Chain A
Amino acid sequence: DTGVSQNPRHKITKRGQNVTFRCDPISEHNRLYWYRQTLGQGPEFLTYFQNEAQLEKSRLLSDRFSAERPKGSFSTLEIQRTEQGDSAMYLCASSSQGSPLHFGNGTRLTVT
């Protein structure tokens, strides 16, 4: 499968712990997006990279959240001092200019 790959698929953590998720986009795509999805809602935009530059961040992305794409390829999303409200599915997507977004399977985070 040469699609968008996300790891891990599931993460259970205790409140207050830090977690990091990884996304490997489709290789020829220079744009990478992070979304969050909770039950009964559509995906909500978190942040977006073009190559290694982070071009936009949503107000949903509090100071506890940080995303990087150091070499313009894979990306990581870190959540520090997790809270129960952070429990959600975290989706990564990639695209090139003019192409639609291709999504990964997501990482399901459960904060206990």
Chain B
Amino acid sequence: AQRVTQPEKLLSVFKGAPVELKCNYSYSGSPELFWYVQYSRQRLQLLLRHISRESIKGFTADLNKGETSFHLKKPFAQEEDSAMYYCAIKGVGSGANSKLTFGKGITLSVRP
């Protein structure tokens, strides 16, 4: 079974402070990890996926297979980063199903 754990419900920081949103996963095969974001009154949208190795809106996330983690980081938070963030996992390979399993999410609040 695939599972995602986001241990914190809320992170509140001041503008310009570093941000780390934690995500741990369990999966018996080879996973693909994602971060999705939901801004106020908007739909859930993809922020980044680990296979892309991109930095999106200043956010990065590195897959650590040893620690089974995929923490989301940004060195300097902006007020517009305030949103709900969800970590998600999917199996990879011909035998894996394509559904995404989500964590419970974390609210990031960036204060001016």
Contacts and interface: CB of A to CB of B under 8 A. Distances in A.
A95 B32 CA distance: 15
Nearest to B100: A101
Contacts of A105: 43
A103 interface: yes
Contact of A100 (B6, B49, B105): B49
Contact of B98 (A41, A48, A102): A48
Interface string A98-112: 001111111000000
B69 interface: no
Please report whether the interface of chain B is mostly helix, strand, loop or mixed according to DSSP: loop
Nearest to B86: A42
B57 interface: no
A112 B18 CA distance: 44
Interface residues of A, number: 23
A42 B105 contact: yes
Nearest to B41: A105
Interface in A39-71: 40-45, 48, 55-56
Given A4-B43, A42-B88, A102-B46, 11 more contacts: A33-B99, A33-B100, A41-B105, A42-B103, A43-B44, A45-B100, A48-B99, A100-B49, A101-B100, A104-B43, A106-B43
The list of the 6 closest CB pairs from A to B, nearest first, reads A42-B102, A103-B44, A100-B46, A105-B43, A42-B104, A45-B99
